[in-house]
Structure 1
Amino acid sequence: MWFVPFLFGILVATILIWTLRLFGHKEIVHNFMTSIQKCNQFGFQQNSVMLNRTSTFRRMILGQGLRQNSGSIISTLIGMVSSACDQFSTPNVAFYENKIPAKPNEEYIEEILIKWPGNYTKLQNIATYIQWLFPNRMPGTNKDAHVLTDKEVTIFQQSPELRNRVKRSFEMMLDFYGLKLTEENQIQVKKGSNKRLKVLNKMNNHNFLCITRILLALKELGHCKLMRPWMKCLADLIYNKNQLHHAKFSFESFWIDTLDAEDQLYIISLIKNYSV
């Protein structure tokens, strides 16, 4: 009964595909089916699931090719199913790997990082993207986004590629707020950014909530060292230059709590010096 594992693999793959479709994960199904369509041999020597119409197909009809290659067929099917399951179980990773788009906008991370920087109107008016760019443990208003899991945190922290994309997302948001990241990983106010700071310095500004989310995400996604210089810059704008005075409540009630104890003491000491 050598063909039983093969049939079982087909059944599992079919159930998985329909389950993903049922729960609205069409992009994962698309990626799964695309990987199948790219195959070029039934023997799976190149990660394949397509029938070879020549001698391999004839041997298969005789019950030889399928028997000989059933082991590799099952292994490849399992690999494909596993890949699809990974996208299902780690959607934040899949998004940052450019495998699935953010919902409901249906844009991939590379599209966002290339097209959105400098588009302040889009960044201001579309609120659904922020949970995809900066996932953390807290659910948000976008029901299509996903909270961050321990497994995803580990993957992000171990992947230079993913951390680099997170950093690019952060730089895009800094620019939106009128700030910039220097080569020394310090954060400064951009020249000619008074207009951007005025937009940010409004009461009950939803961007203050976004900053809380970004800080929490930086902490989890391998960029905790960027939190202290950002908070230092924000403290200077709030308590020293008085350009972000409407952000004072968020700073004291939420932002400062995202830091570890040592960084909190450092920022508090800066604020005390400003008041002297």
Structure 2
Amino acid sequence: MSSESGDTKEIEDKPESPDNVNTNAEPMVVDGTTNGNEGVEVADDELPQVGSESEQQKKEQKGKTEDEATDETQKADEEELADTQELTEPVDRQKTEEEEATDETQKADEEEIADIQELTETVDRQKTEEEESTRKSDEDIDFEDNSDDLDKFYHPSDSDSEKEIEALREDMGNSKTKDKTKPGKRSGATSYQDSRNPRKHAFTRRWSQKDTEDYRKGYPGKKDISGTLNLEFYTNRLTSRPNGDKIDVIHEKWYGDYDKLESHHGYIQWLFPIRENGMNFYAQELQVKEAEAIRKDPKTCGRVLTSYKMMLDFYGMKLKDDNTGELERKRNWRQRYSHLNRSMHNYLRITRILKSLGELGYEHLKAPFVRFILKEAMEQKTLENTLDSCYNYWIETIKDDKTREELRDFADNVICSDS
């Protein structure tokens, strides 16, 4: 109750009735954790921060996710590295095996080179010994200084001039020794005299037969390479090397120049190309297509024949018949035969010449040449030192089996009758 004067009167402390409840008062917050019916008032700063807790959980979750992603990335990197190592190991192992194979190949090549060098040294030593033996034999030649003894051995004919005989004396020398032999012959046994039957040299026969057999069969498995140097040379468009000339100039200016033909060692591979490597690295092996082109062209065929005639002249011979291949001696045959008997490197040249003739369309000229040499060597006794090469190589270049066997029989019969 209130006083009339308007003074404030204390109100009795008693439960308020619903009519006395202040509807504008702030509601009380009841702590749900209590077991009682009374609520406990909680300060605002003590209320649980729901939003903050969610953000923290999100951060923690995000951090966990990032850690997991990092772990997965690291695991993937490790797996990739392992795969790379697994792939690299076979490559490294293969590389190592290839290096070992290369080392073995290099070692084999070095051994082969060493063998070749050793063989070359042996051949060079044998060649030097042979040249020394030939030189000593030349010094032992006893040549009586009168025309009677010279004529007695060489059977001069009316066509031989005194000048040619004198030139022969100068070429052979006029030395006199105590151990005199027949004039014009070397002291000691020649290659033919030392072994009556050249077939007893089994190694030489086997090697020469293999070499010439490949030639006669057309070099099985051998293929053409690029380049037509031989054809260009024989069509007079290319100069031979080293220190050579075009073929027409060689035929014109070198024909009869015996010193040049003897001392120059680079022209023979150009004039008589074959399908084998030679000592002149400027020249090229003959190609099948080149040989066919040379055979089909009358001009190049004519040049091949002229090359053959030039070399015959150098050896003291002459082509009597182009069709049959029959040969005869030249007027200066004594001097040239003397040189051929002593200049044995020309025997290799002759082997090349015969092979080349067979490749370039002149197979029919080879057998007459071989037959002529055999008669001179065995019947006339003028070219005895050529017999071994003739028997072991030159006969074997003849492609026709029947003709080749006839020449062997001819040589065997003469050898047996002379024994």
Scaled to the shorter chain, the TM-score interval is 0.5 to 0.7
2:304 maps to 166
Give how far 1:131 is off: 0.1
Q: Find 2:329's aligned residue among 179, 189, 209.
A: 189
| Greater mean alpha carbon deviation, residues 132-141 or residues 182-191 | 182-191
Q: Find 2:409's aligned residue among 256, 269, 275.
A: 269
Give how far 1:151 is off: 0.6
Give how far 1:251 is off: 1.2
Q: Find 1:215's aligned residue among 349, 354, 363.
A: 354
Q: Deviations over 1:2-21 (max 9, x none)?
A: xxxxxxxxxxxxxxxxxxxx
Distance 1:96 1:135 in 2: 10
- Aligned-residue Cα RMSD (Å) equals 1.4
Q: Deviations over 1:111-142 (max 9, x none)?
A: 00000111000000001100000000111111
Distance 1:121 1:134 in 2: 19
- 2:354·2:366 contact (CA, 8 Å) conserved in 1? yes
Equivalent positions of 1:108-187 (< 5 A) are 108-183=246-321, 184-187=324-327
Distance 1:255 1:159 in 2: 27
Equivalent positions of 1:78-93 (< 5 A) are 89-93=227-231
Verify: 1:101 aligned to 2:239, yes or no: yes
> Counterpart of 1:102 in 2: which secondary structure?
coil
Q: Deviations over 1:12-36 (max 9, x none)?
A: xxxxxxxxxxxxxxxxxxxxxxxxx
Distance 1:115 1:270 in 2: 39
Verify: 1:226 aligned to 2:370, yes or no: no
Q: Deviations over 1:92-115 (max 9, x none)?
A: 010000001001124000000000
2:159 maps to none
Counterpart amino acid of residue 402 in structure 2: E
Distance 1:186 1:106 in 2: 30
Counterpart amino acid of residue 245 in structure 1: E
Counterpart amino acid of residue 91 in structure 1: L
Give how far 1:273 is off: 4.1
Ranges of 4+ aligned residues in structure 1 off by more than 6 Å:
none
Identical columns (%): 35
Give the TM-score taking structure 2 as reference length.
Answer: 0.44
Distance 2:274 2:257 in 1: 24
Give how far 1:191 is off: 2.6
Q: Relative to structure 1, is the Cα distance of residues 248 and 106 closer, same or farther in structure 2, using a 3 angstrom cutoff? A: closer
Distance 2:244 2:259 in 1: 18
Give the TM-score taking structure 1 as reference length.
Answer: 0.65
- 2:271·2:307 contact (CA, 8 Å) conserved in 1? yes
2:391 maps to 252
1:23 maps to none
Q: Relative to structure 1, is the Cα distance of residues 272 and 253 closer, same or farther in structure 2, using a 3 angstrom cutoff? A: closer
Distance 1:123 1:193 in 2: 16
Distance 2:334 2:389 in 1: 20
